[in-house]
Chains A and B, each alone.
Chain A
Amino acid sequence: MLDAALCVVRRDLLLAWRRKSDVATALLFFVIVASLFPLGIGAEPNLLRGIAPGVIWVAALLSSMLSLARLFAADHADGTLEQMLLGASPLGVIAAAKTIAHWIISGLPLVLIAPLIAVQYDLPAALYPVLALSLLLGTPVLSLIGAIGAALTLGLRGGGILLSLLVLPLYVPVLILGAGSVEMASAGMGGEGQLLLLAALLVAACAFAPWAIAAALRISME
């Protein structure tokens, strides 16, 4: 079972490695969206410091959502997904493995590059760890919830835009807690409460989402 999961993760990472531009586009999107805000609302440092956590989190949300449509599409197109459904290992495990790979490809780079955006927004250096930690806890939840939507919209016309309609409302708690933790920390009150709640969301999502993703895949593939 674990072998199958590891195999899927390794395969998806290898595929991403062979086509690096796909990974780079999502990351570039994150950087560009985050850089657009100062152009739109002005470069006043205090204003930027105030909006930085929210902007970075919204950009992370959108960037993680953009790459969701690709999560199952290629496997669906060439029939691999069908074989995974028929295979001996539980579909939930495979779904979890694919989601982990998606997070490593699309979530982890955001965590690593976020401090760079934080520099653009003149956030105090003391906040970088909180920002990175909140993204580290929050982006896997985004991948897990998003994978449910990706599985449900598999092969539908207008899938991408429909996916955003389904998934974005469900992202609201992650956004609030993630951006909130950085804001609390910048107000000097410590963001531990939000970070713990984010961790709780992550645990709950890890427990239930693979199950829902597997059910959604079965519905879409029957």
Chain B
Amino acid sequence: MNWFWYASPQTFYPLAGRMAPWFGFAAALLAAAGLYVGFFVAPTDAQQGEVYRVIFIHVPAAWLSMFIYLVMAGWAALGLAFNTRLSGMMASALAPTGALFTFIALWTGSLWGRPTWGTYWVWDARLTSELVLLFLYLGFIALQAAIDDPRRADRAGALLAIVGVVNVPIIYFSVKWWNTLHQGASVSLKSAPTMAATMFAGMILMAFAFWMYAIAVTLVRVRCIIREREG
């Protein structure tokens, strides 16, 4: 199969139109399953009580917020390397969803922090770097919005996204080193999850639901961008 066939906006437009509903459907299904598991099946946490259930939104949103930035920078690099129009459109279509997930992660995190840590906001490493990530997303969106020529906007945004992606680990480690209160990661690839299996299942279901939602929304948004630019 020739993947470059779909690198052109004209051929990608109908494909995106066909795929978007399926991803949207998968997102709805997974979200329903994930919320059911999260609210009715998963046991109450021994230490935190019911309030821990915010992780079913918070953790997937935080994962996606970082993942989408990587994907966005990947599309940006592709666009700079191959000079394809679609790559830049994908990058600008991903940015609002990424910013949304970053905001949701911060918001739900502060709602969880109030009863658990006793405060809405602490200057902790992960919170601060997530906040900086939000600023990076907003900077990307603002830069693209300020440039009238769409090709220049794509390329300028691409460079900014790549500079940002190089900086994200530096920011994370500098802030981590500066101050840390956040609990360590409960889920890692190296060790078994330190939570009940049903909690973990609910979280994974929700993560996939968010992922599918992000894909569906991005496809719809990229269709709008194609329409706008290619007329």
Contact = CB atoms under 8 A, between A and B. Distances in A.
B156 A220 contact: yes
Interface in A195-222: 197, 201, 208, 212, 215-216, 219-220, 222
B163 interface: yes
Interface string B157-170: 00110111011001
Contacts of B159: 148, 152, 212, 215-216, 219
A219 B155 contact: yes
A45 interface: no
Nearest to A164: B139
Contacts of A153: 143, 146
Contact of B135 (A157, A168, A201): A168
B153 to A, nearest CB: 10
A151 to B, nearest CB: 9
A169 interface: yes
A31 interface: no
B171 A173 contact: yes
B178 A156 contact: no
A152 B174 contact: no
B220 interface: no
Q: Is the interface of B mostly helix, strand, loop or mixed?
A: helix
A222 B156 CA distance: 11
A168 B167 CA distance: 12
A152 B143 contact: yes
Interface in B169-196: 170-171, 174-175, 177-178
Contacts of A176: 174-175, 177-178
A158 interface: yes
Interface centre among A157, A169, A180, A208 (most CB of B within 10 A): A169
Interface in A134-159: 148, 152-153, 156-159
The 10 closest A-B pairs by CB, nearest first: A173-B174, A169-B135, A219-B155, A166-B139, A156-B146, A176-B174, A165-B139, A169-B132, A176-B178, A173-B170
Given A157-B146, A170-B167, A212-B163, 11 more contacts: A148-B163, A152-B159, A159-B146, A165-B143, A166-B142, A172-B132, A172-B171, A180-B178, A197-B174, A219-B152, A222-B152
Interface of B: 80, 132, 135-136, 138-139, 142-143, 146-147, 152, 155-156, 159-160, 162-164, 166-167, 170-171, 174-175, 177-178
